[in-house]
């Protein structure tokens, strides 16, 4: 129809339609231009409508999520692209925002869920979209993927905590000289700065058996592995650690070590285990756990190896100190034993001393020669006569030796502790004290008269030079 044949109303209608098409074309052109701008941006842009569906997302958003734009537009943002753990909470906040109950939060960090199931941490900058009436109809958010930055920050913080743990352990091992307290405190300090989630140490005895175990951060969950270790049943990663100097790393105990008693407790955690070795001797195992998301790099392995070597050196030092104390104790005992015998010999050599006086002197010498002289008393019963120290009291802590003359028992030498003492080789008594009481009883049985005593003791070797030599050795030993 020609324009001149159209009515005024028709012409106006066509003009309106043409103007609308032009406006829509311009709007589409502007929309496409805006989309291009959004697509070249290095951050995500997402528009979520009041019905919780995505109405716009740029190329970066699609790349991060792992979906095409067509797969995202129109889908519920919260149900499809947020981890289940935070879904309901974030959705509830969005609903309150749409209702106008709360003010919008300009900056917020939360995780999103990608197509592969990976969670990525996004730093969002948000604004609300409103209609002409001022009603909130959606949100526009720009988001930056800060996952790697967050992981690096966590990693740095983790290493910082581990360094503090190592420093605390080093301070401990310079002063702690008790082996069991040392390993317990080491475990406590390794988790004390939250560098590690848990730690345990198991120590071997000289026969290669695990006899000392301790832990921190595991509690009763450690009991099954403790029982297995003491039965000689070592987890696979523990056996590997014992056989090599390097740190053994397990990144997923649940799937790779189904027989490990700690697999449920340490789910989602990585485990590092290393042997405690110094000077060719293996003292035991050290094992720690940490969140599996922390990348175990060379720095971590180096720090862990270093602290294990420090612990092993401390155990070696404690072992040397124990050996020194034992040698000193044995030497002191030998000095006391020979001093007692020498003094007894000297007593017998004195002219005009009766057998009764010799026996009275003997019990005083014997009680002074035992490990706890201030808490020791003695008694000699010989041919119906009894001789005791002034503090004598018969107790259950007793050591005795028969006095034999020509094959017949004629008396008894007894030593008592007045109070309970720690368990030693023979009840509370040392094996050296057994040797001494037997030696004294043997000499008492040499004869029942002083003249024959003197004759027998003169035939005995001169003990004075030996006592002096041992005393000098003891002085040298105690200076180190």
Instruction: Phi first, then psi: give them for residue 366, nearest 5 degrees.
Output: -65, -50
Confirm whether pTM is higher than 0.75: no
Q: How far apart are CA 144 and CA 42, in angstroms?
A: 8
Of 145, 170, 190, which residue is a domain's last?
145
Could you tell me if 111 and 238 lie in one domain? no
Burial class for 387, CB neighbours closer than 10 Å (0-12, 13-18, 19+): buried
Instruction: Specify whether 249 is located in the same domain as 358.
Output: no
pLDDT per residue as tens, the chain (480 positions): 555 555 656 656 666 565 666 656 555 555 555 555 455 557 899 999 999 999 999 889 999 999 999 999 999 999 999 999 999 999 999 999 998 888 888 898 999 999 999 999 999 999 999 988 888 999 999 999 999 998 888 888 888 888 888 888 989 988 899 999 999 999 999 998 888 999 999 999 989 999 999 999 999 989 988 999 999 999 888 999 999 999 999 886 555 555 666 766 666 788 999 999 999 999 999 999 988 877 678 888 998 999 999 999 999 999 998 888 877 777 676 777 777 877 877 776 777 777 788 888 888 988 888 989 999 999 999 878 899 999 999 999 999 999 888 888 888 999 999 999 999 899 999 888 898 899 888 877 774 444 554 454 444 444 344 334 334 433 443 444
Rounded distance, CA 303 to CA 163, Å?
Answer: 8
Structurally, the chain folds into a number of domains equal to 3
Query: How would you classify residue 81: left for phi > 0, otherwise alpha for psi between -120 and 50, otherwise beta?
Result: alpha
**Residues 6+ away with beta carbon under 8 Å from 291:** 197, 268, 269, 270
Residues 95 and 164 in one domain: no
Q: Output the domain CATH number for residue 450.
A: 3.30.450
Residue 104 CA: distances (Å) to CA of 137, 138, 143, 354: 13, 11, 15, 109
Which domain CATH number covers 232?
A: 3.30.450.40
The whole domain housing 338 covers 322-478
């Amino acid at each position: 129809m020609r324009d001149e044949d159209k009515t005024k109303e028709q012409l106006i209608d066509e003009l309106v339609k043409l103007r609308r098409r032009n406006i829509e074309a311009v709007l589409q052109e502007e929309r496409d231009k805006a989309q291009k701008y959004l697509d070249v941006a290095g951050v995500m842009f997402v528009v979520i409508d009041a019905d919780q569906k995505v109405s716009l997302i740029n190329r970066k958003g699609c790349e991060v999520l792992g979906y095409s734009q067509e797969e995202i537009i129109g889908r519920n943002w919260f149900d499809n692209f947020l981890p289940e753990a935070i879904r309901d909470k974030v959705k509830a906040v969005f609903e309150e925002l749409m209702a106008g109950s709360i003010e919008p939060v300009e900056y917020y960090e939360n995780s999103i869920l990608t197509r592969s199931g990976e969670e990525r941490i996004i730093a969002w900058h948000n604004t609300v979209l409103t209609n002409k009436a001022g009603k909130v109809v959606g949100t526009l958010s720009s988001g930056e993927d800060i996952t790697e930055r967050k992981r690096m920050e966590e990693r740095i913080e983790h290493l910082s905590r581990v360094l503090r743990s190592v420093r605390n352990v080093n301070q401990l091992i310079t002063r702690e000289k008790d082996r069991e307290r040392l390993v317990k405190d080491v475990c406590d300090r390794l988790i004390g700065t939250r560098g590690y989630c848990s730690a345990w140490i198991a120590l071997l005895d000289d026969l290669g058996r695990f006899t000392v175990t301790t832990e921190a951060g595991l509690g009763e969950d450690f009991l099954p592995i403790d029982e297995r270790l003491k039965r000689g049943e070592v987890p696979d990663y523990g056996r590997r650690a014992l056989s090599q100097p390097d740190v053994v790393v397990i990144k997923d105990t649940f799937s790779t070590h189904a027989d490990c008693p700690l697999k449920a407790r340490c789910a989602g955690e990585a485990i590092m285990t290393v042997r405690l070795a110094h000077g060719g001797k293996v003292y035991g195992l050290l094992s720690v756990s940490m969140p599996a998301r922390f990348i175990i790099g060379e720095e971590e392995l180096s720090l862990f190896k270093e602290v294990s070597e420090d612990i092993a050196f401390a155990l070696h030092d404690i072992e040397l100190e124990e050996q020194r104390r034992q040698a000193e104790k044995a030497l002191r005992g030998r000095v006391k034993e020979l001093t007692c015998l020498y003094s007894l010999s000297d007593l017998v050599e004195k002219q005009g001393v009766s057998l009764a006086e010799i026996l009275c002197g003997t019990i005083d010498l014997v009680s002074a020669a035992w490990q706890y002289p201030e808490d020791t008393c003695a008694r000699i019963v010989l041919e119906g006569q009894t001789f005791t120290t002034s503090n004598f009291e018969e107790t259950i802590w007793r050591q005795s030796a028969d006095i034999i003359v020509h094959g017949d028992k004629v008396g008894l030498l007894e030593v008592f502790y007045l109070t309970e003492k720690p368990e030693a080789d023979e009840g509370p008594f040392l094996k050296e004290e057994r040797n001494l009481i037997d030696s004294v009883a043997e000499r008492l049985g040499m004869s029942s008269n002083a003249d024959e005593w003197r004759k027998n003791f003169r035939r005995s070797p001169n003990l004075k030079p030996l006592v002096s030599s041992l005393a000098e050795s003891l002085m040298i030993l105690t200076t180190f």
